[in-house]
Structure 1
Amino acid sequence: MVERGSNKHGSELDDQMKHEDQGLIQGSKPGHAEEFRETEPFPDETDSPEVLDAIRNDSAIRNAQQGKADRAEEDGGDR
């Protein structure tokens, strides 16, 4: 019988890898068991100034302010 696809790992390892990935693909829970391993979302222009101050990231504050200015300009230019 001719097998299709990659034979890089072998069928047993392919099945094991498929089983390991299934929870990430189909699950609604985080991918990590330990909460501290989850990445935090990046700040954006929708965050409040308090959130931006809490992360103490000057570039995020500048980006958020620029994003708000860009949106205000777009809103004003459409009318």
Structure 2
Amino acid sequence: MIERGSNKHGPQLDDEMKHEDQGTIRSGRPGHVEDFRQTEPFPDDTDSPETRAAMEHGAAGGSGAEPEEDEGQLGTPE
């Protein structure tokens, strides 16, 4: 009988590759160092209202950097 599925690497290499990826999968941290490389979720009609609200809040929240102060007001006494 013919086996269905991908047999590109073989079972031994598949297990090795699975072991190598476990640290990234279980770490809970992003897979990329640079924030701009992270993918953003696409809105979907089947998403719950809570999910849609969280996605809208994340997009409107910006990069998380502190707002810049006006340079003209730095160092001027009040």
Q: TM-score range by the shorter chain?
A: 0.3 to 0.5
Q: Which has the higher contact order (CA 8 A, sep 6+)?
A: 1
Under a length normalisation based on structure 1, what TM-score does the superposition of the two structures give? 0.38
Structure that is richer in helix per residue: 1
Under a length normalisation based on structure 2, what TM-score does the superposition of the two structures give? 0.38
